[in-house]
Amino acid sequence: MNKNLKLIGGILVLLLGLFFIWYFSNIVVYILVAGVLSFIGQPLVKIFDKITYKDLKMPHTISVFLTLIIMLLVISSFFLIFVPIINNQANVISNIDFEYFGDKIEDNLLDVEKVLLDYKILKSDQTLEIMISNELEKLVNMTSPETIFKNMLGFAGSVFIGIFSVIFLTFFFLRDEHLFYNGIMIFVPTKYEEHAANILSDTRRLLSRYFVGLSLEVISMMTLISIGLSIFGVKSAILIGFLGGLMNVIPYLGPIIGATIGVIIGATGSLSLGMYESIGSISLIIIGIFAVANLIDNFVLQPLIYSTSVKAHPIEIFLVILMAGSLAGIPGMILAIPGYTVLRIVAKQFFSQSKLVKQLTKNI
């Protein structure tokens, strides 16, 4: 009877916990983002802590402030560089002469329209040219500087609260690296404290390496793509490189999404200049640069990151990402590696006698 009551009580507590996580999901996101930033910044804090001048040692709080300032400067520099570029791209799109573009591709559209009408994909009272023109006009209206500014004002308040919350939490996570640990240990039964302590210690160690490695991978991809496109004289090379590198946080699908966005940006640049004949060559150059950068990423960057950070075989990572993608789509793919790392650490603590667990966790 007591066991049943404990089981029911445990299930109720779990359900209540899940409800609070869902209800306060924005706060949970702030905590997780701050946790990731603290993982990335902790090695820098330790470097500053080691700085000494004669008999004076760098105060820990100053080390945390310096680390936080450096992280904010890096993030701010991205905004200072890319917001004007994005605004310029919006102006480029708004300057496209869609009527002239429609005239240039009218013959091709008629052939496509005939096929769509034959297969009943297009209604008999519709024309493909008008439909495309309407959609492009909507795109222009959506990407005009005025619309972007209005949308930015719309969520400026919530963004400010989010940024302040993340900075505030990150500071305290960096200042007291045991704060997160102590907060979790409050809820751990006494008999499992040793296991929980080992899990949290290994998780911090491996995920810190992973997020630092992932940050370096993203920056490397941004640099490779931007330089490659600049060599070939592609307009908006830095913007395409930035977005392409950022998309790299999505395993396997990220480069495809990044290349697609890059081709769209490159094509709109050619359209705005009236260089309709160059759209094909520009698109091929962008796809080629993304392909080369992705090969470097797959054969050089990723093996270094995964082998030295999460200590997992590439085949393991591939299968885990596929399963996570099937279960939860793109968010699942992004969280697959950190989630799998935590699961392996937990399994090592509680199922260390299993042959499978021994094999999967032998390098942790």
Question: What are 35-63's pLDDT values in tens digits?
Answer: 888 888 888 888 888 888 777 888 888 88
What was the pLDDT predicted at 93? 62
Q: Mean pLDDT, to the nearest integer, of 132-156?
A: 58
What was the pLDDT predicted at 290? 93
The number of CA neighbours under 13 Å toward the Cβ of 346 is 6
Answering whether pTM is above 0.85, one says no
Cα gap 181→214, rounded to integer Å? 23
What was the pLDDT predicted at 109? 61
Contact 268, 93 (CB under 8 A): yes
Question: What are 293-314's pLDDT values in tens digits?
Answer: 988 888 888 777 776 777 777 7
Question: What are 178-232's pLDDT values in tens digits?
Answer: 777 777 788 777 777 888 888 888 888 888 788 888 888 888 999 999 999 999 8
Written as one letter, the residue type at 353 is Q
Cα gap 351→254, rounded to integer Å? 34
Closest of 199, 172, 162 to residue 33, by C-alpha:
162
Domains in the chain: boundaries: 195-255+285-364
**Number of CB atoms found within 10 A of residue 327's CB:** 11
What was the pLDDT predicted at 120? 65
